[in-house]
């Protein structure tokens, strides 16, 4: 694989040449690309070889040279449980979903129960918009074969890979759960929002509690999901209505602990992601980009868009996800 920033003209040339591609960028730029074997999703911020940058004109593109075949599918929210169908015998699936649509919610809440989900690597992200426009603009994904741009549903690309190529899907979460009892939360209901939570054995009005306790909303809530640390990030706190919204659902009955602060975001990700960044497919959360001040900063061995959620089988927040395709024969020879 090769990941780099491209102009619309450069990306168009590669698509016309038959490249299998995943693209991220502003909707007007994606809409100019020709039809071909590619899928894309909206994004406005990127980690490039020169560091973090906002870019509305160029695209971050990953070419997947080792793909023998690529099958593009679009799914409605109702059809999402079939996402494991039509996969190749040896390969991986890439998936893009627009932020805050029905498909986003269904995937987050029910995806882990769908047949075949964990039997082959599934990697992707939640397409977003510029953070300043998050409450009024709609994220989009695009099926490059048909040119259809969607605000609802999901677009998938099933990849067929040579027998000698192995697939590694890594989740890099630098956040550790804190130990402060005042920032341990248990929720009564599963969902993307909450009005109450149990803290230290008593139910509290969550928005009021977070405001009075001056809880740092830049730090995610961390829970143990079957041995894995999974983050849920704060989206907004509405003191008037009492509603607290999240970028991923909280699960009823699970204890969430607010994460410990990171001394240096860029250094944390640089330490976690060594190697040749261009040879991976990666994405990182836009909240890490913004809260970590990654504008202009290189952040180790990854390049990719800043997204509104990351997918490594399930929905993740404030997490770096990487997909590596490795040639076993080449690795053995080395």
Q: φ and ψ at 156, to 5 degrees?
A: -125, 150
Give the DSSP letter of residue 99: T
Q: Which two tokens stand for residue 104?
A: 């986003």
Residue 68's Cβ-count burial label (10 Å; 0-12, 13-18, 19+) is: middle
The confidence score (pLDDT) of residue 327 equals: 81
In order, the DSSP letters of 82-131 are: GTTTT--SSEEEEEEEETTSHHHHHHHHHGGGSTTTTSS-EEEEEE---G
The confidence score (pLDDT) of residue 277 equals: 59
- Distance in angstroms (rounded) separating the CA atoms of residues 62 and 281: 7
> Which residue reads 């602060």 in tokens?
261
- Distance in angstroms (rounded) separating the CA atoms of residues 175 and 228: 12
Side-chain half-sphere CA neighbours of 116 within 13 A: 13
- The CA distances from residue 80 to 109, 141, 219, 233, 315, in Å, are 12, 15, 31, 24, 14
Ramachandran category for residue 147: left, alpha or beta (phi over 0 → left; psi -120 to 50 → alpha): left
In order, the DSSP letters of 223-261 are: EEETTEEEEE-EEEEETTTTEEEEEEEE-TT-EEEEBPP
Q: Compute the residue count for the chain.
A: 334
- Distance in angstroms (rounded) separating the CA atoms of residues 49 and 304: 10
Give the DSSP letter of residue 217: T
- The CA distances from residue 44 to 55, 116, 224, in Å, are 6, 33, 31
The confidence score (pLDDT) of residue 330 equals: 43
> Can you say how many angstroms the Cα of residue 203 is from the centroid of all Cα atoms in its chain?
32
Residue-range domain boundaries for the chain: 2-172+264-333, 181-258
> Which residue reads 């986003």 in tokens?
104
Q: Which pLDDT tens digits describe the chain residue by residue (334 residues)?
A: 899 999 999 999 999 999 999 999 999 999 999 999 999 999 999 999 888 999 999 999 999 999 999 999 999 999 999 999 999 999 999 999 999 999 999 999 999 999 999 999 999 999 999 888 877 889 999 999 999 999 999 999 999 999 999 999 999 898 999 999 999 999 999 999 999 999 999 999 999 999 999 999 999 999 998 788 999 999 999 999 999 999 999 999 999 999 999 887 777 776 666 556 557 899 999 998 888 888 887 766 788 999 999 999 999 999 999 999 988 654 333 3
């Amino acid at each position: 694989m090769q990941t780099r920033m491209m102009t619309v003209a450069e990306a168009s040339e590669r698509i016309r040449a038959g490249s299998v591609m995943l693209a991220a960028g502003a909707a007007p730029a994606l809409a100019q690309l020709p039809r071909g074997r590619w899928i894309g999703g909206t994004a406005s911020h990127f980690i490039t070889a020169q560091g973090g940058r906002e870019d509305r004109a160029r695209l971050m593109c990953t070419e997947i040279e080792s793909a023998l075949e690529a099958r593009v599918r679009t799914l409605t929210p109702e059809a999402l449980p079939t996402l494991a169908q039509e996969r190749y015998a040896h390969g991986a699936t890439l998936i893009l979903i627009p932020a805050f649509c029905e498909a986003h919610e269904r995937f987050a809440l029910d995806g882990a129960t769908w047949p075949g989900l964990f039997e082959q690597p599934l990697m992707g992200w939640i397409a977003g918009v510029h953070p300043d426009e998050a409450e009024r603009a709609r994220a989009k994904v695009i099926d490059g074969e048909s040119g259809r741009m969607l605000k609802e549903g999901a677009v998938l690309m099933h990849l067929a890979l040579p027998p000698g190529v192995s697939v590694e899907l890594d989740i890099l979460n630098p956040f550790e759960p804190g130990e402060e009892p005042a920032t341990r939360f248990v929720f009564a209901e599963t969902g993307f929002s909450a009005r109450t939570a149990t803290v230290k054995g008593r139910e509290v009005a969550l928005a009021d509690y977070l405001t009075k306790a001056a809880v740092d909303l830049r730090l995610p809530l961390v829970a143990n999901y079957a041995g894995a640390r999974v983050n849920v990030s704060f989206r907004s706190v509405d003191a008037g209505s009492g509603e607290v919204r999240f970028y991923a659902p909280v699960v009823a009955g699970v204890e969430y602990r607010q994460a410990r602060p990171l001394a240096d975001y860029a250094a944390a990700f640089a330490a976690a992601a060594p190697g040749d960044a261009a040879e991976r497919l990666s994405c990182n959360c836009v909240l890490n980009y913004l809260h970590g001040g990654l504008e202009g900063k290189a952040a180790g061995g990854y390049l990719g868009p800043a997204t509104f959620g990351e997918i490594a089988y399930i929905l993740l927040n404030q997490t770096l996800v990487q997909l590596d395709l490795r040639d076993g024969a080449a690795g053995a020879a080395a």
